[in-house]
Homo-oligomer: A and B are copies of this chain.
């Protein structure tokens, strides 16, 4: 029999990881309204934007305005991504609760993404983490290409553990392990988590799956069996796949929540309010959201259709 936890925490990355990969820019006031809807749906964690140069991600150029205007629901952690000290400075000018930093477990992917080797990235992130902690913020880390890199292929588990250890030792409070290109399969997740478990505390680990080949929920299931209880999701599957525009990318929070609730695992989230929030953000984009839930809904079904 499956051994599953009773409660799972879902961290919503749609306003950041979702919107940064959408072609259409959502107006600031709509972002604010949407994030407020997400707070009302029961999330305890919302990554609301990224403090990154607008040249790179124009979709999120209003991070400061968003931070200033969203309603701060008690008990909710409002987080923002910061790529470097400049980003952190911007974030610290707002009342952000947590900042997140990112790097890759693959040297090539890291170089292509942030123009630094893994070794060169550590001191940059260490400074950001140290400053953030001194400012009283908690820090989250995203580690990408954990299950494979588009340039290097397989990434040895030892490498994942080494980089993870380094990041946690810097003072990062939680590390989100990303299947950046959506290639992880359940057997691999099982094998990787079995190794990681020996070296890391799963209290500090979240999983960030992509559904590019449809395996995300199967990978979640295996992770649950290993005792992982924190997962990232992007409402409606917002953001798509950066490597094949229009295909599934980020695991859709609504599909994840649905599976968990059907398995009697609590998330604290209200499926109907999630649906309303997904419909709202979809109406601000020029496309149908790709989650299975939204596919059914857009074709005439809905939450109650199971």
Contacts and interface: CB of A to CB of B under 8 A. Distances in A.
Interface of A: 1-2, 4, 148, 181, 183, 185-188, 190-191, 194, 211-218, 220-222, 241, 243-248, 252, 255, 258-259, 262-264, 291-293, 295-296, 298-301, 305-306
Contacts of A298: 246-247
Contact of A259 (B218, B244, B264): B218
Contacts of A190: 1-2
Nearest to A184: B262
A247 B301 CA distance: 9
Nearest to A302: B244
10 contacts: A1-B194, A2-B186, A2-B222, A212-B292, A214-B217, A221-B221, A241-B299, A243-B301, A244-B295, A244-B296
Copies in the complex: 2
A213 B296 CA distance: 8
A259 B245 CA distance: 21
Contacts of A259: 185-186, 213-215, 218
A306 B213 contact: yes
A74 to B, nearest CB: 33
Contacts of A186: 2, 221, 259, 263
What 10 pairs between A and B have smallest CB-CB spacing? A185-B262, A214-B292, A187-B263, A244-B301, A244-B299, A218-B218, A183-B306, A247-B295, A246-B299, A214-B255
Contacts of A211: 214, 292
Nearest to A216: B214
A238 B243 CA distance: 24
Contacts of A148: 306
Contacts of A220: 218
Given A218-B259, A245-B299, A247-B298, 15 more contacts: A2-B187, A186-B259, A187-B264, A211-B214, A213-B258, A213-B292, A213-B296, A214-B216, A215-B217, A217-B217, A218-B218, A241-B299, A244-B295, A244-B305, A247-B296
